[in-house]
Amino acid sequence: MMVMAPLERPTRFNELKRGLEGITQRVLTQTLRRLERNGMIQRRVLPTSPVGVEYSLTPLGESLRKQFGLLYDWTVEHSGEIQNCQRAHDTRIDA
């Protein structure tokens, strides 16, 4: 759901991908499809050559902007601690 955080304006797929470090094209595509199905974002095909696609928040998705922003900020703030926990967990599992 962190895909919604950078959608402050209509955004093309590749721009979204560049803004989400570490996400694969496949995972981003699946996530966008799920968010579209759930009514959080809308997909618009652009009449360009080659054909482009842009995504934007729907009113329902926009109603969650503040909450997602808080979650996103928390995740960024605690990313080091989260990574340390992941490494510790993985070390225990591999041992």
Total residue count of the chain as it appears in this document: 95
What are the pLDDT digits (tens) for 22-77? 889 999 999 999 999 999 999 999 998 888 899 999 999 999 888 888 888 898 89
Residue 12 has pLDDT above 80, yes or no: yes
Rounded to whole angstroms, the Cα distance separating 7 from 91 reads 36
C-alpha 16: how far from chain center: 8
Dmax (CA) for the chain in angstroms is 55
pTM: 0.72
